[in-house]
Amino acid sequence: MGSAIILVRGKQFRVTEGEIIHVPSFAAEPGSTVQFNILARTGSDGAEIGSPQVEGASVTGTVVEQGRERKIIVFRKKRKKQYKKTHGHRQNFTAVRIDAIGGAKEDSTQSESAGGQ
């Protein structure tokens, strides 16, 4: 079972099949299918690194839910100046279940063996 590194809205995530990840929020309905480009992938046949992406390879996932993360507290203080400020922040997320990691390496080896005969 291999893994892949994908790029979603400027952040990189290492994913495997069947995993549920929380990525920065994007517009998609729960139950819809999404695809991400692969930056690098590993498997039983070794590793493959794209420049910048692996050609013809993609990760397919299903949107599970749209939600918000736990609240974090942002506290600022300047000592001896009687200055304190407290803010809270909740980040929106999209939960995605990774269904399949499709690689160009499997497709290219099949086409090379068929073309060589």
In angstroms, what CA-CA distances link 103 with 38, 52, 80?
8, 15, 59
* The residue to which tokens 């992406």 are assigned: 53
Global pTM value: 0.72
Choose the weakest-confidence range: 25-29, 34-38, 43-47: 43-47
Domain boundaries, the chain: 3-66+95-109
Q: Which two tokens stand for residue 24?
A: 């920065």
Whether 107 has a pLDDT exceeding 50, the answer reads no
* pLDDT tens per residue across span 52-78: 877 878 889 999 999 999 999 999 999
Residues whose CB falls within 8 Å of the CB of residue 2, separated by 6 or more in sequence, listed in order: 16, 41, 42, 43, 44, 101, 103
Q: Hey, CA dihedral for 16, 21, 23, 26, is it positive or negative?
A: positive
